[in-house]
Amino acid sequence: MNHSERCLIAALVLTLLDSGYLSWRYLALRLGIATPGTSLCSWSSFVDCDRVLVTPQANAFFVPNALLGWGFYLGCLLFWFLGKRLGPEYRFHVVRALTLFLGLAALATLRFFWLLVQLPAFCPLCPWNHVLTYVALGASIALWRQTPGPAEPVKLLPLMLLVSTCLLLFVTIQLAWLAAQASGVLRLPNP
């Protein structure tokens, strides 16, 4: 494992942990099992993740933004580790696909940054996901450049099944949230 791969994995794991914490905190605040202003990043009236998580901007795409991130980074890690198990002949394609996914995520972070600057408070954990997305993208580009293309064409089915599995995981997480909210299981009050 070279430096670029370690950097990629570290960035994806850190974003998974960060977005996981923010997803949990979002849910805990909405269910009333956490007291606002008591999170790891509630430092003042201006620097307060909890104040950010209860705004409409924290739920900009029908589900919590943090949950979008958590599902995405979980899918990326799964894609990377399962993709490596396909064998060295698939490595070039796995790296290239992951770079594409991270590039699209990097574009999405521009919308999230725009949402952040609209808020009356600042969440110090939120921008780290965006910054670490850029780090992961840079590492995946470096890996792509270091990885030679396959000597012979590979079967696309294993790669397509991998992409489908990770995409299905992401969609399932988002749909599970929407279904739980629609059915009243979450009983979330309006922000």
Identify the CA nearest to 14 among candidates 131, 173, 177.
131
Residue with tokens 């589900």: 63
Please name every residue paired with 48 in a beta bridge, in sequence order, or none if there are none. 42
**DSSP letter for each residue of 113-148:** HHHHHTSSSB-SSHHHHHHHHHHHHHHHHHHHHHSP
Rounded-to-integer distance, Cα 83 and Cα 101, Å: 14
Mean pLDDT confidence for 130-149: 96
Residue 190 pLDDT class (50, 70, 90 cuts): low
Residue scoring higher pLDDT (186 or 169): 169
Residue 165 pLDDT class (50, 70, 90 cuts): very high
Residue 116 pLDDT class (50, 70, 90 cuts): confident
Cα–chain-centroid distance for residue 149? Answer: 28
Q: Among 8-22, 35-49, 165-179, name the one with the lowest average pLDDT.
A: 35-49
Confidence (pLDDT) at 32? 85
Residue 54 pLDDT class (50, 70, 90 cuts): confident
Helix, strand or coil, per DSSP, at residue 157: helix
Rounded-to-integer distance, Cα 48 and Cα 44, Å: 6
First-to-last alpha carbon distance for the chain, in angstroms, is 45
Residues 6+ apart with CB under 8 A from 112: 60, 65, 126, 129, 130
Residue 120 pLDDT class (50, 70, 90 cuts): confident
pLDDT at residue 191 tops 70 = no
Residue 61 pLDDT class (50, 70, 90 cuts): confident
Please name every residue paired with 122 in a beta bridge, in sequence order, or none if there are none. 47
